[in-house]
Amino acid sequence: MENSFVMAGGGETAHKRDTICIFGTGDFGRSFGMRLLKSGYPVVFGSRDPKHSILLPSGAQVFSHADALKISKIIFLAVHRENYDFLPALSDLLDEKVLVDVSNNIRMNQYPESNAQYLAQLVPKANVVKGFNTVSAWALQSGSLDASSQVFVCGDDNKSKQLVMDVARSIGLTPLDQGSLLAAQELENYPLQLFPMWRLPFIITAGLTVFFFLYCTVIDVIYPYVKEKKDSSYRLAISVPNRIFPNVSLILLSLTYLPGAIAAFIQLYRGTKYKRFPDWLNRWMLCRKQLGLVALAYAFLHVLYTLIIPTRYPVRQRWMQNIIEASKLGHVTLLLCTAHAALFGWDRFLQSRRYKWGLPQAYMLGMVIPCIVLVLKLILITPCVDRMITRIRQGWESKSKYKAAPVCINNASLI
């Protein structure tokens, strides 16, 4: 919708965008309108009282609902669900228009159906799309969208959904297709969840930390006590945490890259990128940034703990080098950290006295997933596999497997 070009007065080519209509001149409507205007969209507001609307961004026009929607194909409904009852009267005018529901609720699952589904029942002729509800008016206005630039979009009509996603891209946001309107309930619950993207990383980190704490306590504290009556409880303060941090950090770092590798193999197997990944993989891919950040935090703690153990100068030096590399947070870092763990234990894994009660040392457990990820990556970068995956990501499809591949966007761009 946004790619029409007109010749401006001096013969220069200007980029003309289609007019966007916003119903509601409240906080969200105004902030969103301001953002659209800055990105070059003409904006019209539909209001109950156009003559008395105040604080509207300069450059926007305001009309009655009926007049405003005649000007635009796409209408953003910045009105609370409780006030949707004026819409059925506009049903005929909304025929074939794209109606975007940005609403949220104050409680999870507040209504039996999502607001977007309710809207679709009220105005069945319109193509309802859910989206933008996770973006706050404040962030739109202040421009501080860096941390929350993802916009989740869902809807039954693919073309309408693409139009809404185009608008999101044009104002600097990253749209993520969440499927049909059935997903709207989940999107509406999303802002009510506490740090939703951090939940999975937090659970994984907590689980790994507890596991390695218990494991290292058994090996470093309980074993010496049972076998030699030696009190090694002082190790709980520094030595045990300093085993937990690097192992958890390394595993988290590899978990950051594992979903990308799995997704690549799925695409290779399917021979297309135009097919949604399983939900668990989508969720995993969406929280990779958080996993990487926690991995970095744990690596930093490991460096700190290593520095306060005065006798370990060589280790300290190695880690200073590694942390410099860690800032790149790439596969190279994963390789270096795994190599660091391997170097740490290269002379230990053959010593039978180190296998307390036959248990492998913690660093060995910590290396399992990183090694799997590195092997998968190695396979993926071999020229023939790399060529195939690049073609798939450029849109090529293996016709033998997918004769009529369903067209839908997935998280391929995030891999």
- Binding of residue 79 to ligand NAP (CB under 6 A): yes
Nearer to ligand NAP, 104 or 247 (CB): 104
Report residue 337: phi and psi, to 5°: -65, -40
Nearer to ligand NAP, 82 or 228 (CB): 82
Among the listed residues 15, 40, 66, 86, the single contact to ligand NAP using CB under 6 A: 86
Site string for ligand NAP, 30-59 (x = CB under 6 A): -----------------xxx---x------
Nearer to ligand NAP, 5 or 195 (CB): 195
Q: How far is the CB of 83 from ligand NAP (least distance, A)?
A: 3
Q: How far is the CB of 28 from ligand NAP (least distance, A)?
A: 3
Nearer to ligand NAP, 86 or 234 (CB): 86
Q: How far is the CB of 101 from ligand NAP (least distance, A)?
A: 8
- Binding of residue 411 to ligand NAP (CB under 6 A): no
- Binding of residue 27 to ligand NAP (CB under 6 A): yes
Interacting stretch for ligand NAP, rule CB under 6 A, among 22-30, 154-162, 207-215, 332-340? 22-30
Interacting residues with ligand NAP between 101 and 160 (CB under 6 A): 102-104, 133, 136-137
> Which residue is nearest to ligand NAP, using beta carbons?
26
Q: How far is the CB of 349 from ligand NAP (least distance, A)?
A: 54
The footprint of ligand NAP on this chain (CB under 6 A) covers a number of residues equal to 21
- Binding of residue 83 to ligand NAP (CB under 6 A): yes
Q: How far is the CB of 374 from ligand NAP (least distance, A)?
A: 42
Q: How far is the CB of 133 from ligand NAP (least distance, A)?
A: 5
- Binding of residue 303 to ligand NAP (CB under 6 A): no
Chain residues in the site for ligand NAP (CB under 6 A): 24-29, 47-49, 53, 78-80, 83, 86, 102-104, 133, 136-137
